[in-house]
Amino acid sequence: MINLPLMDNNITREDVGFLIEFLQKNDIFTQNKNVVEFEKLWSQWLGVKHSIFVNSGSSANFITMAILKELYGEGEIIASPIGWSSDIAAIINAGHKPVFADVNLENLSMNDERIIEKITTNTKAVLLTHVLGFNALTDKLLKILKERNIPLIEDCCESHGATHKGQKIGTFGRISNFSFYYAHHMSTIEGGMICTDDEKLYQYARMFRSHGMTRECNSQEYKNEFENLYTETYPEFTFAVPGFNMRSTELNAVIGLNQLKRLDANNRSRYENFKLFVEQLDPGKYFTDFKLDGSINYAFILLVRNGDDELYQRVVKMFREENVEFRRGTAGGGNLARQPFLKKACPGVDAKKLTNAEYIHQYGMYLGNYPTLEKEKINMLCRKLNEL
């Protein structure tokens, strides 16, 4: 039996040890100096000016879309049909309209030509999801968005450490979002990060994270500006934007600080694992032309070739027999345009027209890839897959 769970040991005994020590020595557990320290070290690791720690990647998505509405108004957001529901839910809940652009099979992420085709005068932003550890950026896309002054928002929730031409993804967009959910490259149990170089977006993200209060700004300039603008309320309790409470806690930050120390080493192992997996698969049966340059995959992606339903069924049977945990249609369940919430909100969207997203929905699945995974298990898995 292969026995391959989706994730293993992502919160280590060492992390728990740090947490226990912190709990014994401290009495402030809500957002405080460890959160600030985690934000600082994360910004340094990524290479951005500002990071805002929140309680999930979805919260990062929700705050980002709310800021876009607050500062630029409602409009169309070009988004990926492969990814996670909160990307799309955040767009809809902020009053925007999602416009889907189909994806590539090579990196499961939106195709640059398809994105460019969808740009209209109503486009407020492109929300580019770097799917399952792949770099979704191209120079052409960056150039066009710059020329047309369309904000790029990067969703890096599944791609910590992936790079475009050697530069970390999450440093190209006006805002980038990360998730530290248990299954991802690193975990704070639950958690997320909003990152930006832009001072105004930073101050707004801080307000949205904490009820919309102006006192959450950490710039005196912004505080003064709001105080002069809003004279009918107390500066301690001026709610300037319709904010949330999406703060995290010191406990999650303590885990994050320890996890960050081993992120790069873990990512190297994940890259090696993924390469070994792809190199050994039979390219006649399974798609192996993935764009590995700059990728850091926390999952293996299995994509059956030629719409071979029978092979797909044999794979599912073998995984069940061998106790290999898997998810059909990749991490977010495949084509998000098929989901009931989306159909209700946007009845005009035709999921079937997103040809590659549909292919991934029907013939794709994902399996766990983590640093402690033994090479022998990868070899065994590929041997069994190739025999089917």
* Residue 366 in tokens: 């994902």
Could you tell me the smallest distance in angstroms from the CB atom of residue 175 to ligand PLP? 13
Q: Which of 15, 39, 87, 154 binds ligand PLP (CB under 6 A)?
A: 87
Do the bridges between strand 364-368 and strand 326-328 make them parallel or antiparallel, or are there none, so unpaired? antiparallel
Q: Which of 84, 204, 286, 287 binds ligand PLP (CB under 6 A)?
A: 84
Could you tell me the smallest distance in angstroms from the CB atom of residue 155 to ligand PLP? 5
Direct distance between the N- and C-terminal alpha carbons of the chain, in angstroms, rounded to an integer: 16
Q: Is 133 in the site for ligand PLP (CB under 6 A)?
A: no
Binding-residue pattern over the window 314 to 333 for ligand PLP, x denoting contact by CB under 6 A: -----------------x--
Q: Is 154 in the site for ligand PLP (CB under 6 A)?
A: no
* Residue 271 in tokens: 């890259």
Could you tell me the smallest distance in angstroms from the CB atom of residue 80 to ligand PLP? 8
The two most distant CA atoms of the chain are separated, in Å, by: 73
Q: Which of 31, 43, 179, 238 binds ligand PLP (CB under 6 A)?
A: 179
Segment contacting ligand PLP by CB under 6 A, of 153-161, 167-175, 201-209, 263-271: 153-161
Q: How many residues sit close enough to ligand PLP to count as binding (CB under 6 A)?
A: 16
Segment contacting ligand PLP by CB under 6 A, of 83-91, 115-123, 272-280, 354-362: 83-91
Q: Which of 15, 102, 155, 250 binds ligand PLP (CB under 6 A)?
A: 155
Measured from the CB atom, the residue of 58 and 238 that comes closer to ligand PLP is 58
Binding-residue pattern over the window 35 to 64 for ligand PLP, x denoting contact by CB under 6 A: ---------------------xxx--x---
Measured from the CB atom, the residue of 31 and 176 that comes closer to ligand PLP is 176
Segment contacting ligand PLP by CB under 6 A, of 13-21, 32-40, 150-158, 201-209: 150-158
Q: Is 161 in the site for ligand PLP (CB under 6 A)?
A: no
Binding site for ligand PLP (CB under 6 A): 56-58, 61, 83-84, 86-87, 129, 155, 157-158, 179, 181, 192, 331
